[in-house]
Structure 1
């Protein structure tokens, strides 16, 4: 009898000494039960009486004593967070959509302002300098010279870049920084070329790019591009949220590479990949050959970055692909190959393969930027070929032909729009 009583005592002790594991039990609850326990914990912590609430919902639980219930409620409360999801067509959702639209409008305003400021500087720079020199000639003779003014403007450009990073308003920040980038490029070019007016050193850039003096090419084009590239790296470090500089740095870096001395040697071996019939087509401009070589280099870099499959390079890939699209549109124009159409046929075929590959790649990675870039590029390419191919058989110069041509282009654009909608609907809906 004593043994039986002792065994019963051990059994009861073991039963009540079991440790409660709230984490394991929480995982076994469904969402409705977790919600009830979470609200129960809120009532407890707010000082309200939670028993009335518990009596209404305790039938959703199996046998659950108060201790386990309290532990589970505290566990769920401690490890929960509230996520607010605005209701569809609610005021908050509409406000969020409006904010997204205004962000795009601000970006567009900044871009237009940048182009306008650069255009104004280009148009009125010489006149402004002349007026300032005439009006303040004595003071300028005392304090300034053409060389000193160039260095001062270079310093202003550096200040705009450095201080522009601290401007909170995105549009104003973009304008100030790009003004600084323009001054940094223009004044560094002026210093290296020793031509202190815009028109003069732009002529030097064109002259030296095709010249035989490699060092002049490096000074005139490569070094300013390297300086601007370094400034863009600084901007990416200081304000990584402004993605625009990820695209611009690709352009600056490509300019720097294509102005290096060894590029002229590599160019001879690279452009025949896209323009193989040089000996029979001596009327192609040299700029087309250089652009073809740059396209080959950009294709190699772009393919390598895509092969890496790393999100870090997504902006660079988009920028390079955009440059490649523009370049293929330019070098595949019929006007570049007026005497021999073999290169035109070959390049049109290569460009078609490229655009198809870009289109498939953009839809595969589901990148909105790449999809837009590829669709726009493909559409422009198709429209260009629509106008070019018939010129092998007749001329568009007659008025009646132009009318029919525009009517056909309208139908072509309609088909393109319907095709894009169908493909996007098939892939994403």
Structure 2
């Protein structure tokens, strides 16, 4: 009973924007049943968002989707998707969020979540008819932010204890904050939000696609790379291990993975790091080697790394959550979007232990998900999409017996 009380108090503090108070109660409370787990993860994702930990917010929103079930499934999906959208907005990926917003609104309308439909219409600039639902604090806050501006919305959110909604909605109106910053006005926003790429053009975001031939974008501009396979393998390692500011990598693990038993591992790494920084135009102070208490680490001091594999995992989580609602049409689109991210075999020229393990993990996951998707497609009488996905996976991972048998059965029919 005490655990439940502490967790509910933590969530209340979180709504009010009182982070220290929330942390203390979360430590005493925690997760007390499966139904509460998704909610707990959702609020942790919001907490990470306010601290500027966008990739952590995406991870937690994904876990919340994976944990969602029961009567709250629809609400869990909407909350988690909105967190994912706002995290990508914080990264400045405007084009990406357009598709996510469109999908979310279609889902909300299909399952008739009227409150959320009104909120999304306000946040996306559509005309809204005023009715009794508009008196709800979460709807009124969105309306105030859009029509009355920052200070009026902030005061309302603070008074009603819904500051985390304010922070989340604010990412839909970046021009409000940008105008305040330009005029040198005090915003009362947490430092983590002000440092987001959306508000700080000096912050660098790399997109690294490695589900096939490696492709890199720097602040959404293509980067032409000329790096050796080991350099590329380390870049992917870096994206997975230190994907956002203040995350770090234990360099002893790097040495053991890329130069096992070598006496010159430290020197080899120094040369590799210079090559990677130069190729990606990374300012030297944003990836720093730190030595403390006999341990050596590489610290990310201000870069965000996103990857197509992260997006694959997030899209799968959305697809499976939608499938659990029985909305196969929505789920199918997400599954197809996930498989579309694969352009070929990852880590094709990388043979270090970490890369080999990751290649095995990713390809095993691709095989499993493709087979499961094809089977569900056949249950719905959809041979075309089943065949398309199986053929694509067969080109990436040839000679898979179960996929071959499924494909043969489709041809025979």
TM-score, structure 2 normalization: 0.30
Larger radius of gyration: 1
Higher relative CO (Cα under 8 Å, sequence separation at least 6) belongs to: 2
Larger % of strand: which? 2
Larger % of helix: which? 1
TM-score, structure 1 normalization: 0.29
